[in-house]
Amino acid sequence: MKKSSTIPSWITKLNVFLANNRDEDKSDFRVIIYVENNGGFKVSVYPNVDYAFIVALLMIVKDMKCSDTTQKDFLSAIEITKTILSLASV
């Protein structure tokens, strides 16, 4: 996964390369995350999307933005996971 460095801090764009894409000429997925002023963010999940994959990407983004792992970060990660799993049951 490669993060673009020319984007403002409130927008994160990730180019995701799956394991079989060794050349990395073209990304397999592109994820764009918009962070709101209150610290929240929005994610749209469409049918046939692997929810575990989305959770993993969100955790990677969170780790990229937070250098230390405190109890608050852990609880926040749990809340993100619960939110995405609730979307899966809709």
Residue 56, Cβ density class (10 Å: 0-12 exposed, 13-18 middle, ≥19 buried) = exposed
For the whole model, what pTM was predicted?
0.41
Give the model's confidence band at 8: pLDDT under 50 very low, under 70 low, under 90 confident, else very high. very low
**Which pLDDT does position 55 carry in this prediction?**
75
Q: What is the dihedral of CA 50, 55, 60, 66, to 10 degrees?
A: 170
Tokens of 31: 């994820």
> CB-hemisphere CA count at 13 Å for 2?
10
Domain layout of the chain by residue ranges: 2-88
Q: What are 31-86's pLDDT values in tens digits?
A: 777 766 666 666 665 556 676 777 777 777 777 666 555 545 555 666 666 666 56
**Which pLDDT does position 90 carry in this prediction?**
47
